[in-house]
Amino acid sequence: MSNETVTQMQKQIDSTFGAPARTYASMVLDHFEQLSNLQFDAAKAYAETSIQQARAALEVKDPSDVRTFVENQQKVAKDLGERMKGDAEKVASLNQAFAQNAQKVTQESAEKVSKAAQNGAKTATKAASQSK
């Protein structure tokens, strides 16, 4: 095989397998980063809420403070539930986008492999007919 043939094969292998693998790895890292950021933001918000509620509990000194604290807990629980729902929707959206992008990369890669196989078969047939 000539250097040109080897170089051409390397380019074809890279475009067929290497490039899609790098694209997929990049997508995985981006997805992980987005999920991590979402989780850190959520954890920070939940921790801040917990600390605020603990401080509020320390301020309870008489029965009217208890009533106010308990009434506030209902609002906090509602807000926290809405936050959790929003966070779950964000995660679902990120996962859906990742799945769609991964499917696209896979389809494009499969098309390249198919095309390369067809070209390889044509080249082999042509070489076989020329050698006869």
- Confidence (pLDDT) at 114: 81
Looking at every residue in the chain, the average pLDDT score rounds to: 89
Is-contact 42 83, C-beta < 8 A? Answer: yes
Confidence band (pLDDT; 50, 70, 90) for 115?
confident
CA–CA dist 24, 98 (Å, integer):
10
Q: Tell me which range, 15-24, 29-38, 111-120, is most confidently predicted by mean pLDDT.
A: 29-38
* pLDDT of 27 above 80: yes
- CA-CA distance, 42 to 36, in Å (whole number)? 10
This prediction has a pTM of 0.71
Q: Look at residue 9 in the predicted model and tell me its pLDDT.
A: 79
Token couple for 9 = 């094969």
State yes or no: pLDDT of 36 exceeds 70. Answer: yes
Picking from 78, 80, 77, 94, the residue whose alpha carbon sits closest to that of residue 38 is: 94
* N-terminal to C-terminal alpha carbon distance within the chain: 19
Q: Which of 116, 118, 125 is nearest to 9 (CA)?
A: 116
Give the integer Cα–Cα distance in Å for 24 and 83: 31
- Top pLDDT among 21 and 93 is at 93
The single residue listed with the structure tokens 């936050």 is 83
Is 90 exceeded by the pLDDT of residue 120?
no
Measure Cα distances from 41 to 89, 90, 95, 106 in Å.
14, 12, 17, 32
The pLDDT of residue 38 is: 96
